[in-house]
């Protein structure tokens, strides 16, 4: 085989490895997980790379950096099986580390020192954030008025204070005629629906960086079945909205 193409191929491989290493050092990749769940940290490799070894490490804040695992030629080793991760680390594949049963203290910076054949070494890093599981949203309803043909109701979607998520009312389907939705203060929706379209539902969603929860409400049950709505007058509903105060909300597609 001609030596010139071989040299060109080797130079291209080395350039790709160096570029990948520079990018990895410049900015840790963000990884998000949920308490009790699991995440996979995957080292990025140049095309056609052959891995000799990957050394994984962990540090949190100003604490010491600890070696957590080594992946070498298909073998998985733990330098200190009694560290904080215990049996919660495993080899996901030849270039990836899996962390299961996530704990609050697992958040931090993870490093991967990747050694490629024949003699290329570069470092990558991952910033893991561990979030509390999202609660299911709650929907409160206030009945303003109803007739055999039409109903007016106010709805509010809530999550517990301190929840790290964004609450959003989702827009109803565009083909739901006979349904009018208007946001008012305090994250409350004012809804007017005709009896002939009362099988409509409205859905509230709470979303974080890693998961989503939804809850829907049946307008027929709220309006005409003497169901879950609190039956208040118009002024009482407005006062309730003021007392509830502003919240993170919007209509979402």
Tokens 């085989």 correspond to 1
Report the CATH number that the domain containing residue 169 is assigned in CATH.
2.60.40
124 and 75 share one domain: yes
Does 14 map to a domain? no
Does 243 map to a domain? yes
> What DSSP state is assigned to residue 225?
S
Does 246 map to a domain? yes
Cα 58 to chain centroid distance, Å, stands at 22
HEC assignment per residue over 172-219 = CCCCCCCEEEEEEHHHEEEEEEEHHHCCCEEEEEEECCCCEEEEEEEH
222 and 159 share one domain: yes
98 and 145 share one domain: no
Of the residues 131, 161, 177, the one at which a domain ends: 131
- Identify the sign of the CA torsion 191, 200, 146, 229: negative
Does 174 map to a domain? yes
Tokens 């030629």 correspond to 73
104 and 63 share one domain: yes
Residues in the chain: 253
Does 20 map to a domain? no
Does 187 map to a domain? yes
The answer to whether 146 and 224 have CB atoms below 8 angstroms apart is: yes
The domain containing residue 64 runs over which residues?
A: 26-131
Report the CATH number that the domain containing residue 32 is assigned in CATH.
2.60.40.10
The answer to whether 197 and 178 have CB atoms below 8 angstroms apart is: yes
Of the residues 131, 158, 181, the one at which a domain ends: 131
Does 205 map to a domain? yes
181, with CB counted inside 10 A (0-12, 13-18, 19+), is middle
122 and 150 share one domain: no
- Render each residue's pLDDT in the chain as its tens digit; 253 residues: 455 544 444 444 444 444 544 444 558 999 999 999 999 999 998 888 888 999 999 998 777 899 999 998 778 999 999 999 999 999 999 899 999 999 999 999 999 999 998 889 989 999 999 999 999 999 999 999 989 899 999 999 988 888 888 888 887 765 567 888 888 766 688 999 998 877 788 999 999 889 999 999 988 888 886 554 444 444 444 444 444 444 434 455 4
The answer to whether 148 and 179 have CB atoms below 8 angstroms apart is: no
> What does the alpha-carbon distance between residue 144 and residue 209 come to, in Å, rounded to a whole number?
36
Q: Beta-carbon neighbour count of residue 104 at 10 Å? A: 9
């Amino acid at each position: 085989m001609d030596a010139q193409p071989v040299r060109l191929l080797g130079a291209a491989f080395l350039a790709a490895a160096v570029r990948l290493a520079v990018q990895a050092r410049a900015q840790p990749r963000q990884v998000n997980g949920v308490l009790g769940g699991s995440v996979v940290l995957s080292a990025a490799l140049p095309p056609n790379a052959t891995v000799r070894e990957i050394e994984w490490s962990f540090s949190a804040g100003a604490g010491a950096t600890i070696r957590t695992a080594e992946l070498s030629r298909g073998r998985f080793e733990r330098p200190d099986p009694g560290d904080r991760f215990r049996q919660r680390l495993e080899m996901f594949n030849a270039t990836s580390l899996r962390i299961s049963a996530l704990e609050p203290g697992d958040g931090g910076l993870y490093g991967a020192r990747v050694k490629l054949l024949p003699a290329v070494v570069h470092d990558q890093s991952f910033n893991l954030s561990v979030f509390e599981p999202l609660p299911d949203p709650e929907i409160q309803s206030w009945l303003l008025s109803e007739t055999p043909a039409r109903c007016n109701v106010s709805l509010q979607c809530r999550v517990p204070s301190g929840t790290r998520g964004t609450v959003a009312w989702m827009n109803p389907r565009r083909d739901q005629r006979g349904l009018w939705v208007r946001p008012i203060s305090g994250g409350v929706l004012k809804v007017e629906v005709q009896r002939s379209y009362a099988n409509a539902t409205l859905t509230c969603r709470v979303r974080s960086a890693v998961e989503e929860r939804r809850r829907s409400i049946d307008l027929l049950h709220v309006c005409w079945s003497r169901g879950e709505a609190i039956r208040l007058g118009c002024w009482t509903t407005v006062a309730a909205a003021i007392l509830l105060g502003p919240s993170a909300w919007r209509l979402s597609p």
